[in-house]
Amino acid sequence: QVQLVESGGGSVQAGGSLGLSCVASGATYNAPCMAWFRQAPGKEREGVTRIDILGHVTYAHSVSGRFTTSQDPTGNTLHLQMNSLKPEDTAMYYCAASSNRWCESDFEYWGQGTQVTVSS
């Protein structure tokens, strides 16, 4: 099993920045792919960014150029730096991990989520 714990959410005005972190523990060898998802009230969950075993990162079009994800050298901590935040970025942000090294299958492990609220 892999446990994921997010931190760093909060409230910010539009144009501001926030950073999120996700710490993985347990059988982390089962989680070569890590990702951030988000879900706003009344909307479906959407992928924000993912990083595969080789460190290749992909971003949703809606956050490209504003959000940056990175991992620590152990691969067990995932960061998400969010800049130029917009009200539409308001959502619960979830860290997720997959046993598929190329992030090509469902994510088996999920954190509890951290709220990000952006006011206009």
pLDDT in tens, 15-47: 999 999 999 999 888 899 999 999 999 999 999
Cα 84 versus chain centre, distance: 17
CA-nearest of 66, 30, 70 to 50 is 70
Q: What does the mean pLDDT of the chain come to?
A: 95
Higher-pLDDT residue of 104 and 110 is 110
Q: Give the mean pLDDT of 45-74.
A: 95
Cβ-contact 22, 6 below 8 angstroms: yes
Cα of 87 vs its chain's centroid, Å = 18
**For 43-71, what is the mean pLDDT?**
96
* Amino acid found at 20: L
pLDDT at 73 over 90: no
pLDDT value at residue 9 = 92
pLDDT at 108: 95
Phi-psi category of residue 42: left, alpha or beta, with phi > 0 → left and psi -120 to 50 → alpha? left
